[in-house]
C-alpha cells in the first residue's frame, strides 16, 4: 500500500513539472519595472575641455636676428595669428631624434643672430600628446619624450628653415626633416615684432620688457561651488555620505572610502580616493596627463581658462602630481598661502586619480570691471630683480594677477611681477 502511494505521488509531481515547463516555454513573461531610488547622475558644474584648450604655448618669442626679441603673451591678437592661424595648420614630417653632441647648435647664438619663432610650453608635454595638437607626421614610432619648446629659425644667409622640438633633456632634440614653412613665412611673422614692445634677456631663460607694460586691474563678482554640488558630482551615492566638522571648521564628507574636505574660510576643496596600485607599478606620463584632464571634465569641469602648468618629476613608479593654472584676461592667477587660489591640482598613478584639489570660487567674467594699470619694465625691473634675495633660484619671471577676496562676493585681481622658483613655488617681486 505504501509503495502504491509513493508511486502515485511521484506521478503527480512529474505531471506538475511538465505543466510548469509548458507555461515557462510558451507563455509571455510579465516584466515589472525596476525603480531606481538612490542613483544620482553626476551634475555638470563646469565646462569641459579638449586637449587643445589646455595644452598650448604659454609664450611665443619672436627673434629678429639682430639681438632684439619680442614676446607674444596670450592676450595679443598676434599670438593667435602666429599659433592658431599659422603654426597649427602646418605639417611637421619625419621627426628625427638626435643627440645634441652631434649637432653644431649654439642656442644663444641662434636666438641672437637667426630670425625665428620660439614656442615655449609652461610644462613639458609628452611627444605623443603633442601629435594630437600639431600636425606631426611620423611613420616610425616615436619615443615618448617630453617636449618643452619648438624652435623654427632661418639659417644665416640662406632660405633654409630648420625646425627643432627641444626636450627636457639637454642632450636630445628632434628635428623635423620636412616642414611646409618657407623663409618668407618666418620673415613675415617675425616682422610682427617691429610693432610691439621689445624684450631683452641675459641668458635666454626668460625675457623682460624694455619698457613698462599695460595690464588692467580687475574686479569681478564670484559665486562658489556648494558642498551639495560637490557631493553629487564626486560620490557615486551622495545619500550614503556622512558629514562632520573639524576644529578648524573644515567640513568633511565621507562614504567610508572617499573623503571630501571643504574649507569655506579659504574657499578651497580637497577630494581623496585611496587607490590600490602596487607601489612598483610602472608609470606613464601621457596616461596620467590624459587621465587628469578626463577626470576634471567629468568631475567639476573647468570654470574658466586653464593651462597645463606643472608636473612632478617624471618617475618610473609612484604617483605623479599635475597642476593646471587658471588665467583671466590671459594672465595667470596666483593666490599666496593660505589662499591657494588659481589652480587645479591632481595626483594620479596609472591614470587613476587619488587626490583632487581646487578653489571653490567661480569668477563671473561677465561682471569684470577693468582699470588701466602698469607694470614696470627696463632698468626699473632689472633693479628689482637684482635686489631680490632669491634671484639665483629664479626659473622664470612673468606678469600675473594676485587674487584677493573682498567684501560683497567680489575678487580683486591686481597686476604683479611674479617669479617661479626652482622648487616650483611662486613669489611676487613687485
More confident residue, 231 or 45: 231
pLDDT digits (tens, 9 = 90+) for 15-32: 444 444 444 344 443 333
Phi and psi for 193 in degrees, rounded to 5?
A: -60, -25
pLDDT digits (tens, 9 = 90+) for 97-129: 989 888 888 999 999 999 999 999 999 999 999
Distance, in Å, from the CA atom of 349 to the CA atom of 238, rounded to the nearest integer, reads 25
More confident residue, 10 or 102: 102
| Res 312: pLDDT | 80
For the chain, how many residues are written?
430
Distance, in Å, from the CA atom of 275 to the CA atom of 84, rounded to the nearest integer, reads 39
| Contact by Cβ (8 Å): 286, 126 | yes
Work out the burial of residue 13: count CB atoms within 10 Å of its CB; fewer than 13 is exposed, 13-18 middle, 19 or more buried. Answer: exposed
% of the chain beyond a pLDDT of 70? 86
Close Cβ partners of 361 (under 8 Å, ≥ 6 residues apart): 222, 223, 224, 267, 341, 405, 411
C-alpha cell at 283: 608609470
Structural domains of the chain sorted by starting position, each given as residue range(s) with its CATH number in brackets: 51-206 (no CATH), 223-363 (3.30.310.160), 366-428 (no CATH)
DSSP 78-131: HHHHHHTTTGGGSEEEEEEEEEGGGS---HHHHHHHS-EEEEEEEEEEEHHHHT
Beta carbons within 10 angstroms of residue 345's beta carbon: 16
Section 403-408 average pLDDT:
92
pLDDT digits (tens, 9 = 90+) for 32-78: 333 333 444 556 667 899 999 999 999 999 999 999 999 998 878 99
Close Cβ partners of 55 (under 8 Å, ≥ 6 residues apart): 121, 125, 129, 130, 133, 307, 308
% of the chain beyond a pLDDT of 90? 67
Section 225-237 average pLDDT:
91
Q: What is the pTM of this model?
A: 0.85
Nearest to 344 by CA among 402, 311, 296: 296
Section 79-89 average pLDDT:
93
| Res 43: pLDDT | 60
| Res 279: pLDDT | 58
The DSSP bridge partners found for residue 427 are: 419
pLDDT digits (tens, 9 = 90+) for 376-394: 999 999 999 999 999 999 9
Section 276-301 average pLDDT:
83
Q: Are strands 394-406 and 331-334 parallel, antiparallel or unpaired?
A: parallel
Return the ∠ at Cα 403 (arms to 401 and 405), rounded to 5°: 155
Helices (H), 200-311: 227-234, 285-298
Nearest to 117 by CA among 59, 169, 41, 32: 59
Amino acid at each position: 500500500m505504501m509503495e502504491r502511494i509513493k508511486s502515485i505521488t511521484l506521478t503527480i509531481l512529474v505531471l506538475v513539472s511538465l505543466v510548469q515547463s509548458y507555461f515557462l516555454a510558451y507563455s509571455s513573461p510579465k516584466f515589472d519595472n525596476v525603480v531606481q531610488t538612490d542613483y544620482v547622475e553626476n551634475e555638470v558644474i563646469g565646462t569641459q575641455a579638449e586637449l587643445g584648450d589646455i595644452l598650448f604655448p604659454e609664450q611665443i618669442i619672436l627673434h629678429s636676428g639682430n639681438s632684439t626679441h619680442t614676446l607674444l603673451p596670450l592676450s595679443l591678437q598676434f599670438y593667435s595669428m602666429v599659433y592658431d592661424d599659422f603654426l597649427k595648420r602646418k605639417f611637421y614630417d619625419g621627426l628625427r631624434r638626435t643627440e645634441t653632441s652631434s649637432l653644431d647648435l649654439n642656442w644663444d647664438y641662434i636666438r641672437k643672430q637667426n630670425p625665428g619663432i620660439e614656442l615655449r610650453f609652461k610644462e613639458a608635454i609628452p611627444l605623443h600628446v603633442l601629435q594630437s595638437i600639431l600636425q606631426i607626421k611620423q611613420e616610425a614610432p616615436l619615443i615618448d619624450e617630453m617636449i618643452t619648446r619648438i624652435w623654427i629659425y632661418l639659417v644665416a644667409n640662406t632660405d633654409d628653415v630648420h625646425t627643432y622640438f627641444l626636450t627636457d633633456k639637454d642632450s636630445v632634440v628632434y628635428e623635423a626633416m620636412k616642414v611646409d614653412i618657407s623663409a618668407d613665412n618666418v620673415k613675415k611673422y617675425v616682422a610682427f615684432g617691429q610693432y610691439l614692445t621689445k624684450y631683452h634677456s641675459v641668458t635666454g631663460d626668460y625675457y623682460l620688457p624694455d619698457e613698462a607694460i599695460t595690464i588692467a586691474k580687475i574686479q569681478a563678482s564670484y559665486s562658489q561651488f556648494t558642498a551639495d554640488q560637490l557631493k553629487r558630482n564626486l560620490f557615486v551615492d551622495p545619500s550614503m555620505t556622512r558629514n562632520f566638522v573639524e576644529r578648524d571648521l573644515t567640513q568633511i564628507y565621507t562614504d567610508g572610502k572617499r573623503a571630501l574636505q571643504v574649507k569655506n574660510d579659504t574657499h578651497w576643496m580637497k577630494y581623496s580616493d585611496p587607490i590600490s596600485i602596487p607601489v612598483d607599478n610602472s608609470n606613464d606620463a601621457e596616461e596620467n596627463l590624459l587621465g587628469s584632464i578626463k577626470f576634471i571634465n567629468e568631475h567639476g569641469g573647468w570654470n574658466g581658462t586653464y593651462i597645463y602648468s606643472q608636473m612632478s618629476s617624471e618617475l618610473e613608479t609612484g604617483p605623479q602630481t599635475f597642476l593646471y593654472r587658471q588665467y583671466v584676461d590671459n594672465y595667470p592667477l596666483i593666490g599666496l598661502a593660505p589662499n591657494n587660489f588659481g589652480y587645479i591640482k591632481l595626483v594620479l598613478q596609472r591614470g587613476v586619480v587619488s587626490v583632487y584639489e581646487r578653489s571653490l570660487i567661480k569668477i563671473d567674467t561677465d561682471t569684470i570691471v577693468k582699470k588701466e594699470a602698469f607694470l614696470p619694465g627696463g632698468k626699473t625691473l632689472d633693479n628689482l630683480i637684482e635686489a631680490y634675495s632669491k634671484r639665483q633660484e629664479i626659473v622664470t619671471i612673468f606678469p600675473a594677477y594676485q587674487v584677493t577676496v573682498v567684501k560683497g562676493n567680489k575678487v580683486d585681481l591686481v597686476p604683479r611681477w611674479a617669479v617661479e622658483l626652482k622648487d616650483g613655488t611662486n613669489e611676487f617681486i613687485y
